[in-house]
Amino acid sequence: MNAYIFPGQGAQFVGMGLDLYEKYPLAQELFENANEILGFSITDIMFEGTPEDLKETKVTQPAIYLHSVILSKVMGDEFKPDMVAGHSLGEFSALVANGTLSFDDGLTLVSKRALAMQKACELRPSTMAAVLGLEDHIVERICEETDGIVVAANYNCPGQLVISGDIGAIDLACEKLKEAGARRALVLPVGGAFHSPLMEPAREELAAAIENTTFGAPKCPIYQNVTTTAVTDSEEIKKNLIAQLTAPVKWTQSVKNMVIDGADIFVEVGPGKVLQGLVGKIDPIVKTMAASLS
């Protein structure tokens, strides 16, 4: 069975999507439509901007969404997922790909999400850190024992967990994690504590937008970050998508459940190869590949 997976923030690069724009009239139409919806020329930044321009949250998130969703649309008959999943932001791309959200509604929500997250980041200094080489339960215990807000945020693959919270609490937790045997505990160059309680203002703002958006019946199940299991009920999908901003991304658990349910080929749709690498570490037996336009 084919599992189509969609990357999140961090997969962006200058020039992303230009090949699609130049080669496919449908892609050109969708990119131009996106410029109108966003109110600025995101294509200029994606195709020929600077890496710094592309790193801005209000640009990064819509850019990755556009690359992933437009790629899935130009694949046409080649795009036949039995199930889908997305890493954090990628969940929105997955929901357009499986027919739950329209292209326009998905982009509008992603843009609102990016702006709401940016605002939440500015309210309180916060960050994230990657922890390598420790079992999840040890990382979770040290987070619980550390003063301040610090939580497990991204379960990326066995031995790779990202923590999120206040800057002071993250620094303290990193020291404790190194003492506990972590191979690395590295603060990441991000603007805030994504997937932590500090995103509550953004969650409330996004919840209102999601509640006012039409969610259709999906063509295939989505394995959501919050529940990690197959979901096909549009109301449940909404509820999980709202919870996602303050809840951890349980990618390891989602991939394992997709494999249990029959997935043996994982196709990454969008920029980069990060998810292929993670899936390979979660289950070395399954096949991973990038989406192709053969």
Active site annotation includes 87: no
Q: Point out which residues pair with 113 in neighbouring strands.
A: none
User: Choosing from 67, 72, 87, 88, which is the catalytic residue?
Assistant: 88
Rounded to an integer, what distance in angstroms lies between the CA atom of residue 65 and that of residue 8? 8
Rounded to an integer, what distance in angstroms lies between the CA atom of residue 51 and that of residue 125? 23
User: Choosing from 93, 111, 164, 195, which is the catalytic residue?
Assistant: 195
Number of C-beta neighbours around residue 229 at 10 A = 15
Rounded to an integer, what distance in angstroms lies between the CA atom of residue 83 and that of residue 72? 14
CB-side neighbour CA atoms (13 Å) of 210: 24
Rounded to an integer, what distance in angstroms lies between the CA atom of residue 106 and that of residue 243? 17
Q: At what angle do helices 90-97 and 57-75 cross, to 10 degrees?
A: 30
Active site annotation includes 137: no
Catalytic residues: 88, 195
